[in-house]
A and B are shown apart, each in its own frame.
Chain A
Amino acid sequence: MRLPLEGSQAIARAVVAARAQVVAAYPITPQTHIVEHIAKLVADGEATCELVSVESEFSAASVVLGAAVAGSRAYTATASQGLLLMGEVLYNIAGLRVPLVMTVANRAVSAPLSIWNDQQDSMAMRDAGWVQLYCSDNQEAVDTTLQAFRIAETLEVPVMVCVDGFTLTHTLEAIDLPAQEQVDHFLPPYRFARTLNPRNPLSFGTLVAPEYYAEMRQLHHQALLDALELIPAVDAAWQEVSGRSCGGLLRVEGDPAARTGVLTLGSIFGTLADAVAIDPACGPVRLMHLRSFRPFPAAALRAACAGLERLVVLERAISPGASGIVTAEVRAALAELLKPPCVHGFAVGLGGRDVPLDLLPRLLASLPETPGPFRIFDLDPDKLPQEAL
């Protein structure tokens, strides 16, 4: 059923269609609309979940943890400061191998205070042990949310679905909402093997001494590596049900003969595709959307880079004092190739700065022969002190 829906509204409907039984969240821009829509669906009797309106994101994450181990499908959503406040619980959820789904409405992290979009927040949680899937549009946000529950529950790992704040969460689009039967067919009822149950009492979250710790980390690492197979398989299964794919681990589009590749995550993928389509100054370009950042699809990326002479990474976060986070990982993955493309890394669109259509042709025209250091591309020199230039 195609409906004109705001991104947040569509995600809320997907969560309800997934029959989440417990939802806990705390408001933060630009995530707020998602929980407000869920609350409205509950108030209107269109959803039957237990909605727990907690006193903080720290508790939101803790409530869904408790709910999932007590046997219910659970969901939360947050952004930015809220995600950072959850940090300790997020590591805990992942280490306990609790299947949960969370939407991150990506937003910059304070200070400087900004309510606008970039991806510094989810990148800061890169090593928490969650699967991280990025969405390039709102249809993908709906489809990925449903897929996320299946991935989480199959592997007993939590899944973060990252959608760009405002650009996606607050944008109205025609969305194909799957029918309830389709969702039910795709997503079996929640079953967690280690559910806390008085008939079979288990102890969960115990103290692990050095002689077992590394093995447990290995099992967790392995589960995320297993997701490299599962994510495309679940996407394919969803395609059978819905006719739509989200691109598995890595969506590759554009000219297969191109010598230049451009890789990004999230909603600017669409902007880049439009730029390539309408502006001949871009030249032939192979476009890549890194849907799965964790697990990192190194092999798929190497395959997708075959024949490329240069790869431009455009990302929405930085690791101050080092480089781009995605750029560093792309470089490491491609270093295994005999003839790797030159990797040029840039941050763009930080703190909600607009990424216009002409950014890509300008950037491609300015690329040097050999890559320079990672930098923020769309800086305005007039706004920087002289000494910084």
Chain B
Amino acid sequence: MNGQTISIEALRSQQPRYAGLTAGHRACLGCGQALAARLVTEAAGPDVIVANATGCLEIFTTPWPESAWRLPWLHSLFENTGAVAAGMEAALKAQGKSTKVLAFGGDGGTFDIGFQALSGMLERGHEVLYVCYDNEAYMNTGIQRSSSTPHAAATTTSPAGRARMGKRHLKKDILAIIAAHHIPYAATASVAYPADVRKKVRRALAVPGPSFLLVHSPCPLGWGHDGALSIEVARLAVETGLFPLVEMERGSLVGVLPLRAPKPVRDYLALQGRFAHLFADDPRAREELAHLQALADANIERYGLRAGGAGLDTESADTVRRGGGQWA
């Protein structure tokens, strides 16, 4: 280059990269979902169309007459996104087009109210990548519990109080339910592992048929942590075993992000206001902490997260080992 030197940073910034979601939207500082949607659309675009459920992502990206999307995007309702995407796919098929269809929903729109439409879409084999941005509550309406809210987390409809330690029920195991549809590809991911998110999006889009990606996306407002710590919080969810990163093909486990030295769940919980009541001097709080630790340990056991860590380091790795169903 004419003998000139150029810094890595400058090279990076000059790198033309497709951006499906641009700056200027109105998400809170440190919103995990905004970052996750950017990662997903970067990896998927530009030849895509998107169906987006009602929720924070929909609201903060499109205050009429502005839009932060640079891809064709439709918001219809809260609970019909799987079906709208299925219709888009059917139409593109009828027209002989290869454009990919993405569906975006929050955990409320996916685990709860939109679950039927999603299940129908998966069962009928529509070639759609459904991405659930999991921030573990209904954030758009002000932090109400969903069936994805973790056990013992406080939300406005599962508050902690003298008689209650936050949410009384377990987080729904959506991945197992999705996997039971025997779709070609279903995986979990986390905004703390961007390269892994991109890789999983590309894998999902490469398989024929429906695919599903659950992206753990911290919400500083709803979880009660500093927005600057979103990535750290997300990483701790993975490193404690509370949010395992796994891949399933046709219902069988084919890959996990191994944890060489799982961290105690306290490290994760202590950063978030929604778990503050668990650190009170109260036997029930101690019991719940032990319970959450047991849930994380059960995940580690069930998915074999410790098995054969083989020198992989979760601090830097972004690495998913694919084992062809060896843990199935």
Min CB gap A59→B, angstroms: 4
Chain A residue numbers with a CB within 8 Å of B69 are 201, 203
Min CB gap A16→B, angstroms: 13
Chain B residue numbers with a CB within 8 Å of A202 are 72-73
Chain A residue numbers with a CB within 8 Å of B91 are 21-22, 50, 66-68, 70-72, 74
Chain B residue numbers with a CB within 8 Å of A96 are 76
The total of chain A residues at the interface (CB under 8 A) is 44
Q: Which one of B61, B87, B120 lies within 8 Å of A55 (CB-CB)?
A: B120
B59 near A65: Cβ-Cβ < 8 Å: no
The verdict on A386 contacting chain B, using a C-beta distance below 8 Å, is: no
A58 near B80: Cβ-Cβ < 8 Å: yes
**Which one of A207-215, A308-316, A344-352 contacts B?**
A207-215
A70 near B62: Cβ-Cβ < 8 Å: no
The verdict on B75 contacting chain A, using a C-beta distance below 8 Å, is: yes
A207 near B62: Cβ-Cβ < 8 Å: yes
B94 near A64: Cβ-Cβ < 8 Å: no
B83 near A54: Cβ-Cβ < 8 Å: yes
The verdict on A88 contacting chain B, using a C-beta distance below 8 Å, is: yes
Task: List the A residue with the shortest CB-CB distance to B90.
Answer: A50
Name B residues whose Cβ lies closer than 8 Å to a Cβ of A: 45-49, 51, 58-59, 61-65, 67, 69-77, 79-80, 82-95, 99, 101, 116-117, 119-120, 123-124
A205 near B76: Cβ-Cβ < 8 Å: yes
Chain B residue numbers with a CB within 8 Å of A201 are 69-73
Bound-state CA distance A204–B82 (Å) is: 17
Bound-state CA distance A22–B92 (Å) is: 10
A interface, by DSSP: helix, strand, loop or mixed? mixed
Task: List the A residue with the shortest CB-CB distance to B72.
Answer: A196
Chain A 34-72, CB-CB to B under 8 Å as 1, else 0, gives 000000000000000110111110111111111111111
Q: Which 6 A-B pairs have the closest CB atoms?
A: A66-B87, A62-B83, A55-B120, A63-B87, A72-B91, A206-B62
Min CB gap A306→B, angstroms: 45
The verdict on A198 contacting chain B, using a C-beta distance below 8 Å, is: yes
Question: Given the interface contacts A55-B120, A59-B117, does A72 sit within 8 Å of B90 by beta carbon?
Answer: yes
Min CB gap B80→A, angstroms: 4
Contact residues of A between 10 and 39, Cβ < 8 Å to B = 21-22, 24
B87 near A65: Cβ-Cβ < 8 Å: yes
Bound-state CA distance A54–B63 (Å) is: 32
Chain A residue numbers with a CB within 8 Å of B94 are 21-22, 49-50, 67, 72
Bound-state CA distance A65–B80 (Å) is: 10
Bound-state CA distance A197–B97 (Å) is: 11
Bound-state CA distance A112–B27 (Å) is: 48
The verdict on A318 contacting chain B, using a C-beta distance below 8 Å, is: no
Q: Which one of B48, B62, B74, B90 lies within 8 Å of A52 (CB-CB)?
A: B90
Min CB gap A167→B, angstroms: 31
Q: 13 A-B Cβ contacts within 8 A?
A: A21-B91, A22-B87, A22-B90, A24-B90, A56-B117, A58-B116, A66-B87, A70-B92, A71-B92, A197-B49, A204-B74, A204-B75, A207-B64
Chain A 87-102, CB-CB to B under 8 Å as 1, else 0, gives 0110010001000000
Bound-state CA distance A69–B88 (Å) is: 7
Contact residues of A between 152 and 204, Cβ < 8 Å to B = 196-198, 200-204
B95 near A21: Cβ-Cβ < 8 Å: yes
Chain B residue numbers with a CB within 8 Å of A74 are 87, 91
A206 near B75: Cβ-Cβ < 8 Å: yes
**Among B72, B87, B88, B90, residue most surrounded by chain A Cβ atoms (within 10 Å):** B87
B49 near A198: Cβ-Cβ < 8 Å: yes
Min CB gap A81→B, angstroms: 16
Chain B residue numbers with a CB within 8 Å of A89 are 76-77, 80
Chain A residue numbers with a CB within 8 Å of B58 are 207
Given contacts A59-B117, A66-B90, 9 further A-B contacts (CB under 8 A): A22-B91, A50-B91, A68-B87, A72-B95, A196-B88, A201-B72, A204-B74, A205-B76, A209-B64
Chain A residue numbers with a CB within 8 Å of B61 are 203
**Among A52, A56, A58, A204, residue most surrounded by chain B Cβ atoms (within 10 Å):** A204
Min CB gap A273→B, angstroms: 41
Chain A residue numbers with a CB within 8 Å of B84 are 62-63, 65-66
Bound-state CA distance A70–B51 (Å) is: 11
B116 near A56: Cβ-Cβ < 8 Å: yes
Bound-state CA distance A53–B73 (Å) is: 25
Bound-state CA distance A61–B89 (Å) is: 15
Bound-state CA distance A174–B187 (Å) is: 56
Chain B residue numbers with a CB within 8 Å of A54 are 83, 86, 120, 124
Chain A residue numbers with a CB within 8 Å of B45 are 198
Task: List the A residue with the shortest CB-CB distance to B99.
Answer: A198
Chain B residue numbers with a CB within 8 Å of A56 are 116-117, 120
Q: Which one of B72, B77, B80, B120 lies within 8 Å of A198 (CB-CB)?
A: B72
Question: Given the interface contacts A22-B87, A55-B116, A198-B46, does A62 sit within 8 Å of B63 by beta carbon?
Answer: no
Bound-state CA distance A238–B75 (Å) is: 36
Question: Given the interface contacts A62-B87, A63-B87, A72-B95, does A92 sit within 8 Å of B77 by beta carbon?
Answer: yes
Bound-state CA distance A89–B76 (Å) is: 8
